[in-house]
Amino acid sequence: MHGILRANGRVWPEHYPAGIWRSVWELAYPRPFKAIVDRERQRSPIPEALAYAIMREESAFKPRAVSSSNAYGLMQLIEPTAQRMAAPLGFSATAESLKRPEVNIALGSYSVPGEWGWIWFLLIGPHLVFAHTRAGRILGLDRLLVKRITSQGQERAGLGQLLVRLA
């Protein structure tokens, strides 16, 4: 259904997703496999919206999708990338297993920060820059940002501190 709305998206995108337009937006941007996405968000810092955007664009939410370049499943993973991500998570990454939502979403969520590092910089970069402007310092955003990044755990604290120093 989201494909039909996407192909005929002339009227509904002009309306905020509230009231009668909410159901149209929910059809255009469905959230299938929510339990799996929620579980994987605990393991990976990938935002929920980004996980759904990748699945929507890459596979149209079809778990058994296979591209012409042999990318498999919801998040369209190729076997070499998936195999690299599978070992730390205890999964097997084969063409068939990548068509299972619980495997594909787990490996895709785990791979996004590493494979799409540039998007993380684009998402966090403007916040870091603003936090270190005069206005950001007056509002205390620089201190808040450092506190937030360093409270995320040791593995992310080092990267966060590096980003704060670069900004």
pLDDT, position 58? 92
Query: Which CATH number belongs to the domain containing residue 94 in this structure?
Result: 1.10.530.10
pLDDT, position 89? 84
**E-strand spans in the chain?**
71-72, 77-78
- Judge whether 96 lies within some domain: yes
Which tokens go with 160? 């966060």
- Residues 167/129, Cβ–Cβ less than 8 Å: yes
Angle at CA of residue 141, ends 137 and 147, nearest 5°: 120
Do 98 and 127 have their domain in common? no
Confidence of residue 155 (pLDDT cuts 50, 70, 90): very low
Which tokens go with 34? 């929510």
- 42 lies in which domain range? 34-115
- Judge whether 102 lies within some domain: yes
Whether the CA torsion 16, 19, 23, 26 is positive or negative: it is positive
Do 71 and 111 have their domain in common? yes
Confidence of residue 118 (pLDDT cuts 50, 70, 90): low
How many of the other CB atoms lie within 10 Å of CB of 165? 9
Do 153 and 90 have their domain in common? no
Count the domains in the chain.
2
State percent of the chain over pLDDT 90. Answer: 31
Which tokens go with 98? 């990548």
Do 128 and 111 have their domain in common? no
pLDDT, position 33? 97
Do 96 and 110 have their domain in common? yes
Do 110 and 38 have their domain in common? yes
- Judge whether 27 lies within some domain: no
Instruction: Please give the mean pLDDT across all residues of the chain.
Output: 78
pLDDT, position 68? 94
Q: Is the pLDDT of residue 105 over 90?
A: yes
Of 12-21, 71-80, 85-94, 148-157, the range with the lowest mean pLDDT is 148-157
Instruction: Convert 98-129 to b/e letters by CB count within 10 Å (16 or more is b).
Output: bbbbebbbbbbbbbbeeeeeeebeeebeeebe
Do 51 and 98 have their domain in common? yes
How many of the other CB atoms lie within 10 Å of CB of 22? 12
Q: Is the pLDDT of residue 71 over 90?
A: yes
Among 46, 48, 95, CA closest to 73? 95
Q: Is the pLDDT of residue 1 over 70?
A: no
10-38 pLDDT, tens digit per residue, is 676 777 888 888 888 888 889 999 999 99
| Helix or strand run (H / E) with residue 134 | helix 134-138
- Judge whether 75 lies within some domain: yes
Which comes out higher in pLDDT, residue 140 or 51? 51
Do 56 and 45 have their domain in common? yes
Do 106 and 40 have their domain in common? yes
Do 82 and 145 have their domain in common? no
